[in-house]
Structure formats: C-alpha cells, structure tokens
Amino acid sequence: MSRRVGSEVHLGLAPSRVTRWAILIVVAAVFAIPLLSLLVFSFSAGLGGGYTLDHWTGLFDPENARPYRTLFQAIGNSFLLAVVTVAIVLVLLLPTMLLVHMSFPRLRRVLEFICIIPITVPAIVLVVGLAPVYSIVVQVLGGSIWTLAFAYGILVLPYAYRAIQANLDGVPVVTLSEAARSLGASWPVVLWRVLLPNLRRGVLAAAFITVAVVLGEFTIASLLNRRNLQTALLQISTSDGYVAAILSLLSLAFAFVLLLIIGRLGSVGNRSTP
C-alpha cells in the first residue's frame, strides 16, 4: 500500500521544488505575523516603549501562584476534557463507523447525516438546548468538569467523521477484512492488525482535530458557565493583557508540540510497516 513518490514527480503530478517552497514560505510568513506580534507584545514594557521579561517571569513567580491558580486550574480542566473527548471519539464513533461501513452500508448516509448535524446546528445554537440537558447530567453524574466532554464529543463529530471517512473511502475495508477472515483471522485480529493500521492516518487526524477543538472551545463553556482555558483567558485579558498573550502563545505552542509528537509517533509506525 505504500506509495512511491518518485514516480509521481516525474509524471508532473507534484509541483516543482521552487513552486512548492515559494507558496509555502509566503503563506507561512504571512501567517506568522499575528503570532509574532503577540510574542512581541508579551515582551513590551508598556506605554513608555522598550522591552522587558517581567511579564514572563511574573507568570512563573511562586508569589503570583495564588492569583493565577484558577487560570492554571482552567488549563487542567481543558486537558482533561480533551482526553475524555478523544476517548469518546475512539470508543463511540470509530467502532460505529467501521460497523456501518462493513455490515450496514445502507446506514452510511444516515451516519454521515448525523455526523454533519453539529455543523448545521452550531455550538451557539446547541448550547441553548444543552442547558436543560446539563441540569439533568449534573444530577446524575455530578457537576465535575469532565461531563462537558459529552457536549464536546458532539462538536467534534463532523471533523472526526470526515477525517476517518476520508481514510475509510481510500481503503478497501471489505476486501481486506474478507481476505483476512479467509486466512483464518478472528474479528479482533482483523480490527487490530488489518483495519486499524490501514486507518491510522484517519484515526490520528481525528484525534488531532478533536484535541484542537476541545482546547479551543469557548462557546459552550462560556454560556454554560464552566471554567476552561478559553473562558479563563478572555476573563483575564480584560485585567492583564500580557498574561492572556503569554498563555495564548504557550497553549498554542503546547498544542502544536503535542500534535507534532503524535504526528511523529504515527509516521514512525508508518515507516516500520513494509
């Protein structure tokens, strides 16, 4: 299944080296401007001009630990939510998609329709109806922050679905599983050793997007009065813009590195497969 790139280049499918880098460098440079501005702002000394490290050192100063404690707590909340939401995608969505793809092809359109609904019904609309639902959830499961992941699992459905489905469409799942079955593989073996390795890119992409969506989620947390990273950031930006800038940069960088690591793990596995 591994594609050799060399043949494609000669056949004129890929852009030339110059074209590729010209496009990538120009776009990357333009996209770097806002983030670099945020970085410069986090070092600026205020109205008098000049630059200082005070805003950065102040954030990690143990003396300031108390005022920033709720902020750090909010960051923890967001990461907990990201983990639980990825689990929801892997445990609820992925098996359902595989089942539908293999056993109930007629339900494919239904599943796709369901998974697209959260785009058609945006978070700002959903949150109005989620409020009464969550008043019951709190009674049943308690008011812990992780329950918000149920709502987030819905929010990421379109993106997770698209990522997995794009991969699923490119892989002859039925043929592969029939071949494996005819060679005596049990269903768990088919799933684990035949299907999942072929769907690795899609599943990883789904996890990427899920983490990114959850860490950036503002609408539902804000209107259901839950404290996550984004609501805490907007709150503190009115009183301390520098801290908001620093934490924005740090969390963007952290998410980037996190996704980078996941991506590297995926590609290392890729390379070891013949």
Query: Cβ of residue 104: shortest distance to other proteins, in angstroms?
Result: 7
Q: What is the DSSP string of 173-238?
A: HHHHHHHHHHTT--HHHIIIIIIHHHTHHHHHHHHHHHHHHHHH--HHHHHTT---HHHHHHHHHT
Q: How far is the CB of 105 from other proteins (least distance, A)?
A: 11
Residue among 99 and 196 whose Cβ is closer to other proteins = 99
Two tokens at 251? 């969390």
Closer residue to other proteins in complex, CB, 54/63 = 54
Pick 125 or 196: Cβ nearer other proteins: 125
The DSSP output letter for 3 is P
Shortest distance (Å) from residue 39 CB to other proteins: 8
Tokens (6 digits) for 167: 């991969």
Nearer to other proteins, 34 or 62 (CB): 34
CB of 151 to other proteins, least distance (A): 6
- CA–CA distance, 186 with 182 (Å, rounded to integer): 10
Residue among 257, 271, 155, 267 nearest 204 (CA): 267
Please identify, using beta-carbon distances, which residue of 68 and 210 lies nearer to other proteins.
210
Is there a contact between 153 and 85 (Cβ–Cβ < 8 Å)?
A: yes
* CA neighbor of 39 nearest in space, from 250, 233, 236, 256: 250
Q: How far is the CB of 214 from other proteins (least distance, A)?
A: 9
